[in-house]
């Protein structure tokens, strides 16, 4: 591994089979890493204990190998990294949040609020108010969420395709609350990318808005910010983002790997039967910036 300069990664959530869009993004992440002399890591993002399963993770790993993708070192599991997330948490300014999902949704719809962003309802509660709300949650068998006390409203990142991007930053969740608290994706991904030496993050366009928030967290933790490469999504025939709801016909189990890979290569405008063939042909500047519609 000492010959590698930096690293890329692919990090699926094990909550079901990887569909065509997931696999296409995995291939792109692998291509970007291998064509730039980087290591390529596979990380299982199984922090969502309510949705993740070991069976799903095993199937996803097998599917990626069947496609001809290889990776360096052992597969990293986020479920084994909770101590590192806790260590990062204590370095960040944060506070308890007692709001329900319904309350957050209603508050984010108020005039002048940013849709989907937390409006800071619990940010400046008095200690008496906190004690009351905390006791109320405990009585329900729940714990409060922990949110970042953000010091900025916006943060700028550079993306390989999108260029300079300024995104909104709010008091994002660092650890979820409720009856079964889990570590939040934004914190875990920042900590793990730094831990693995990942300096190139290739993922779908739908996550571009998350990049400024994650880069801001990295800044607060004094961790390096990776190069971001957000690639177009795969859409279904109705023009909607491909998802697991589109059915088994878009997963690797619905066809042989030797059938799936040429379809992925064709969606990238290449004619290749295997991953090694595509690696020789791949040019990142040729990638269409338009979503690919799977028909």
Q: Write the pLDDT tens digit of every residue in 163-176.
A: 999 999 999 999 99
Task: Please check if 88 is assigned to a binding site.
Answer: no
Say what the pLDDT of residue 178 is. 80
Whether the pLDDT of residue 294 is over 90: the answer is: no
Say what the pLDDT of residue 124 is. 93
Query: Total domain count for the chain?
Result: 2
Task: Please check if 283 is assigned to a binding site.
Answer: no
Residue 1 lies in a domain: no
Residue 58 lies in a domain: yes
In angstroms, the CA 201 to CA 230 distance is 8
Whether the pLDDT of residue 204 is over 70: the answer is: yes
Whether the pLDDT of residue 113 is over 70: the answer is: no
Task: Please check if 118 is assigned to a binding site.
Answer: yes
Q: How confident is the model at residue 180 (pLDDT cuts 50, 70, 90)?
A: confident
43/189 same-domain check: yes
- CATH code at position 195: 3.40.50.620
Say what the pLDDT of residue 11 is. 97
N- to C-terminal Cα distance for the chain?
40
Task: Please check if 244 is assigned to a binding site.
Answer: yes
DSSP string, 255-290: S-HHHHHHHHHHHTT---SSHHHHHHH--GGG--SS
116/36 same-domain check: no
Task: Please check if 45 is assigned to a binding site.
Answer: yes
Task: Please check if 9 is assigned to a binding site.
Answer: yes
Task: Please check if 11 is assigned to a binding site.
Answer: yes
231, 79, 65, 6: CA torsion to nearest 10: 60
Task: Please check if 203 is assigned to a binding site.
Answer: yes
In angstroms, the CA 237 to CA 255 distance is 19
Whether the pLDDT of residue 104 is over 60: the answer is: yes
Q: Alpha carbon of 194 to those of 64, 88, 283: distances in Å?
A: 23, 12, 27
The residue whose two tokens read 């595509």 is: 278
For the whole model, what pTM was predicted?
A: 0.91
Number of C-beta neighbours around residue 239 at 10 A: 8
Higher pLDDT, 118 or 205: 205
Long-range contacts of 48-51 (CB under 8 A, 24+ apart): 48/13, 48/15, 48/182, 49/79, 49/180, 49/182, 50/180, 50/182, 51/13, 51/15
Q: Which domain holds residue 145?
A: 92-156+167-175
- Is the separation of the CB atoms in 91 and 19 below 8 Å? no
Residue 228: which H helix or E strand, with range? strand 227-231
Say what the pLDDT of residue 1 is. 39
Residue 120 lies in a domain: yes
Task: Please check if 185 is assigned to a binding site.
Answer: yes
Residue 161 lies in a domain: no
The residue whose two tokens read 């009856």 is: 179
37/116 same-domain check: no
Q: Alpha carbon of 84 to those of 40, 121, 182, 257, 279: distances in Å?
A: 22, 28, 13, 37, 35
Average pLDDT for the chain: 90
Q: How large is the average pLDDT for residues 133-158? A: 93
- CATH code at position 171: 3.90.800.10
74/109 same-domain check: no
User: 65: which residues sit within 8 A by CB, 6+ positions away?
Assistant: none
Higher pLDDT, 78 or 253: 78
267/192 same-domain check: yes
190/150 same-domain check: no
Residue 162 lies in a domain: no
In angstroms, the CA 47 to CA 36 distance is 30
Name the domain boundary from 125, 147, 175.
175
Number of C-beta neighbours around residue 155 at 10 A: 21
Numbers of helices and strands, H then E, in the chain: 9, 12
Q: How confident is the model at residue 91 (pLDDT cuts 50, 70, 90)?
A: very high
Instruction: Name the token pair of 37.
Output: 């002399």
Residue 234: which H helix or E strand, with range? strand 234-235
Say what the pLDDT of residue 4 is. 72
Whether the pLDDT of residue 254 is over 70: the answer is: no
Share of the chain above pLDDT 90, in %: 72
Residue 197 lies in a domain: yes
Say what the pLDDT of residue 179 is. 74
Say what the pLDDT of residue 51 is. 79
Task: Please check if 12 is assigned to a binding site.
Answer: yes
152/266 same-domain check: no
């Amino acid at each position: 591994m000492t010959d590698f300069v930096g690293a890329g990664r692919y990090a699926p959530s094990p909550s079901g089979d990887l569909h065509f869009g997931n696999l296409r993004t995995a291939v792109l992440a692998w291509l970007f890493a291998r064509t730039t002399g980087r290591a390529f890591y596979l990380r299982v993002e199984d922090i969502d204990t309510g949705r993740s399963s070991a069976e799903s993770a095993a199937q996803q790993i097998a599917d990626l190998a069947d496609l001809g993708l290889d990776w360096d070192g052992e597969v990293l599991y986020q479920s084994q990294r909770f101590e590192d997330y806790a260590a990062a948490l204590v370095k960040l300014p944060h506070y308890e949040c007692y709001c329900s999902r319904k309350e957050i949704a209603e508050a984010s719809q108020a005039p002048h609020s940013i849709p989907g962003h937390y409006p800071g309802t619990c940010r400046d509660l008095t200690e008496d108010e906190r004690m009351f709300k905390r006791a109320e949650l405990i009585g329900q068998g729940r714990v409060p969420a922990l949110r970042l006390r953000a010091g900025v409203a916006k943060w700028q990142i550079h993306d390989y395709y999108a260029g300079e991007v300024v995104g909104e930053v709010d008091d994002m969740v660092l650890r979820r609350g409720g009856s079964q608290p889990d570590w939040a994706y934004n914190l875990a991904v920042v900590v793990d990318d730094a831990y693995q030496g990942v300096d190139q993050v290739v993922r779908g366009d739908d996550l571009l808005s998350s990049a400024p928030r994650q880069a801001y967290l990295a800044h607060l933790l004094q961790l390096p910010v990776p190069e971001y490469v957000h690639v177009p999504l795969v859409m279904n025939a109705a023009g909607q983002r491909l998802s697991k709801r589109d059915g088994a016909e878009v997963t690797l189990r619905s066809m042989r790997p030797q059938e799936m890979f040429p379809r992925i290569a064709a969606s990238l405008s290449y004619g290749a039967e295997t991953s090694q063939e595509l690696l020789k042909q791949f040019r990142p500047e040729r990638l269409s910036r338009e979503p690919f519609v799977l028909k």
